[in-house]
Amino acid sequence: MFFAYIFVLNMRSKSSLYWWCQLGGWLLYGLTMLFFAFVFENKNNDVVFPRISITILLGLFYTHLLRELILKLELRPPVSKQKWNKLTAIVIGVLILFNLTNSAIVEWLQMFDPRNKASVEKRFLANLILDSPLILVWLSIYYIWHYVELGTTNVIQKVRLESLVKELELKTIKSHINPHFIFNALNSIRALVDENPERARKAITELSNILRSSMQTEKQETVPFEKELNIVKDYLALEHIRFEDRLRVEYDIDEDTLDQPVPPMMLQTLVENAIKHGISKQKDGGQIKVISDYTNNHHELIVLNSGSLNGNAGSKEDGFGITSTRNRLKLLFGDKASFDIRDTSNDMVEAKVIMPVQFAHS
């Protein structure tokens, strides 16, 4: 009902605009003709005003008839090549009727100077030459208006479609992130249930905290980096229960970056990727280091982990973590953000995210 109401309002608004344009255009024509008649000709002819009035009324009627025919025969822009002949025939027919009616009314009401009376045929031909451009100008304005409106509508629909696709893609990515993380965390807890129940209970509490945080960010495209960092700290604390001394964690965080917006669960995904493909593949475990800093007017976020890409540490084969990170950065920041993963010289894998700096509004 609501959308029907909006549709009716929109139709009424367009109808009112059409009639205001019709009346305004033909009245402007009438005033222009009066200006030429009384200023340039410098005489007051009794038939000038009635004839201009008839032309205006007939113009309103026949242009409205032309519009109704265009709508009924579906000749609004864009017009296919097959319909141009039909449109041309209709326009010619309206032009002839317009000028025939005009000449007939002038003859019937004797609205001419008897001393300079011309035959009906000559007046019809004169009207056809002089008044036909009025209909053609109206038709040109009508079509230009609809072509502009069509172009504007297409642009708006394109923007809405791109926005919808972007939203759907983001939701699809998020729907993969949370289950992927949950299953890995549950596997960690399962390993503790028999071995150390108390630590398992603690792990469950930490997992519930992480899930609560991730659910709160589900409806957001970005979150403050501080919130994302807290999730990662909980996650690494949970993983430390499983790996114990095999997992060493280090943070190098510029506090000024804590309020910068980042995609939710992105950092956690990269850290999880480092655990899964790096630390867990090595007998002696290794180190994970999270760095956040400003570099060249950008927010630089780095996850370092022991291992190598050849050893499948954060495989460059574009697994889920890598692909989701690239896709989300592209969707949210376009070409202003980048992601790269590489081996460093000290047997570490570096996953680096560069994002534009967002300044807080005062």
pLDDT-derived band at 123 (thresholds 50, 70, 90) equals low
Which residues, 6 or more positions from 74, have their beta carbon under 8 angstroms from its beta carbon? 83
* Cβ burial, residue 102 (10 Å; 0-12/13-18/19+): buried
> What backbone phi and psi angles, to 5 degrees, belong to 228?
-65, -40
Which residues, 6 or more positions from 330, have their beta carbon under 8 angstroms from its beta carbon? 337
- pTM of the model as a whole: 0.52
Residue ranges of the domains in the chain?
2-161, 196-356
Count CB atoms within 10 A of the CB of residue 232: 22
User: What gap in Å lies between CA 358 and CA 361, rounded to an integer?
Assistant: 9
Taking CB atoms within 8 Å and a gap of at least 24, the contacts of 242-249 are 242/188, 242/191, 242/192, 243/279, 243/280, 243/285, 245/285, 246/279, 246/284, 246/285, 246/286, 247/275, 247/279, 247/285, 247/286, 247/288, 248/285, 248/286, 248/287, 248/288, 249/287, 249/288, 249/289, 249/290
Residue 71 is predicted with a pLDDT of: 83
The larger pLDDT score, comparing residue 318 to residue 208, is at 208
User: What gap in Å lies between CA 267 and CA 353, rounded to an integer?
Assistant: 9
Tell me, which fold does domain 196-356 have in CATH?
Heat Shock Protein 90 (3.30.565)
User: What gap in Å lies between CA 99 and CA 122, rounded to an integer?
Assistant: 12
pLDDT digits (tens, 9 = 90+) for 193-234: 887 788 788 888 888 877 777 666 556 778 899 988 988 898
DSSP, residue by residue, 288-304? EEEEEEEETTEEEEEEE
Eight-class DSSP state of 38: I
Eight-class DSSP state of 254: -
Average pLDDT, the chain: 76
Residue 26 is predicted with a pLDDT of: 83
Q: Are 224 and 260 in contact (CB under 8 A)?
A: yes
User: What gap in Å lies between CA 278 and CA 314, rounded to an integer?
Assistant: 7
The larger pLDDT score, comparing residue 301 to residue 244, is at 301
pLDDT digits (tens, 9 = 90+) for 320-350: 668 778 888 888 888 899 999 998 888 889 9
